[in-house]
Amino acid sequence: MNPLNEFVQIVLVETSHPGNIGSVARAMKNMGLSRLALINPKKFPHDEATALAGNAVDVLEQAQVFSSIEEAVKNSKIIFATSARERTIEWPVASAKDAAQEINQLAAENIEVSILFGREDRGLTNEELQLSNKHLIIPADPEYPVLNIAMSTQVVCYELYQASHNEPIGPWQDFPEYTSQELQHLIEHFNETVFKLDLIDPKNPKQILTRMERMFRRLYPDQMEGNFLRGFLKAVNNKIK
């Protein structure tokens, strides 16, 4: 059994060209991965995707199509988003090599991971990038750091394949991590409580809520921690009713 193949999902967001989907499927199968999720692809299924997939047609046939990123990753506990952009508020960042080492360890602990790849022309939006725990960067020459989606996926899948040959460390956590959906509910609960306490002007929240979301996603809370925080927030809300 290959833990990476079982617990790692490649997610393509609003891919325009069907050939790119086929090329990604081929890159995945080359490196022993098969779980592909598509968010609102413009043309799929499509003959061009099938042609460029080569012998990875089975990856296309098993691909799942979703209407939103949130739906596709709701069971994932850790999300990496590929990004080349600079943000006003920095997010935790890992190179493809370092991210692959971390993902290999997570998969060995049976932790569900999703890796997001954005649109061909503009990547992922700030809001989509913000759904991730970390941003995954592929180092490249600054004079021309542009990789197409098939190249990017091939590099990441290659690093995952290489990392899978390293012996993972045994798990240390005693409770499973929050899923992406559970973490999103915690963040929304926190934001609602902040507004009820009048700690932030809802018309001018500035960047503090984004920074707090970054903190929650960086912490990887487990079930015990997350549930305690939800209980704490519920008690605070009951006190201020």
Give the angle 74-208-118 at the CA atoms, nearest 5°: 40
- Which of 103, 137, 163 is the last residue in one of the domains? 163
Token pair listed for 207: 């960047």
152 with 207, same domain? no
Dist CA 131 CA 213 (whole Å):
9
Residues 6+ apart with CB under 8 A from 142: none
Q: Structurally, how many domains does the chain consist of?
A: 2
Q: What is the predicted pLDDT for the residue at 177?
A: 87
User: What tens-digit pLDDT sequence spans the chain (241 residues)?
Assistant: 789 999 999 999 999 999 999 999 999 999 999 999 999 999 999 999 999 999 999 999 999 999 999 999 999 999 999 987 666 668 999 999 999 999 999 999 999 999 999 999 999 999 999 999 999 999 889 888 889 999 999 999 999 999 998 876 666 677 888 999 999 999 999 999 999 999 988 788 778 999 999 999 999 899 999 999 999 999 999 998 7
For the chain, strand residue ranges (E) read 8-13, 36-39, 64-66, 78-82, 93-95, 113-117, 134-137
Q: Are 44 and 17 in contact (CB under 8 A)?
A: no
40 with 157, same domain? yes
Dist CA 93 CA 99 (whole Å):
9
Position 213 in a domain? yes
Position 172 in a domain? no
228 with 157, same domain? no
- Which of 163, 190, 210 is the last residue in one of the domains? 163
80 with 199, same domain? no
Q: Are 25 and 140 in contact (CB under 8 A)?
A: no
124 with 155, same domain? yes
Q: What is the predicted pLDDT for the residue at 201?
A: 84
Residue 214's domain comprises 180-239
Dist CA 52 CA 55 (whole Å):
9
Position 35 in a domain? yes
For residue 217, give the 3-state DSSP assignment.
Answer: helix
91 with 24, same domain? yes
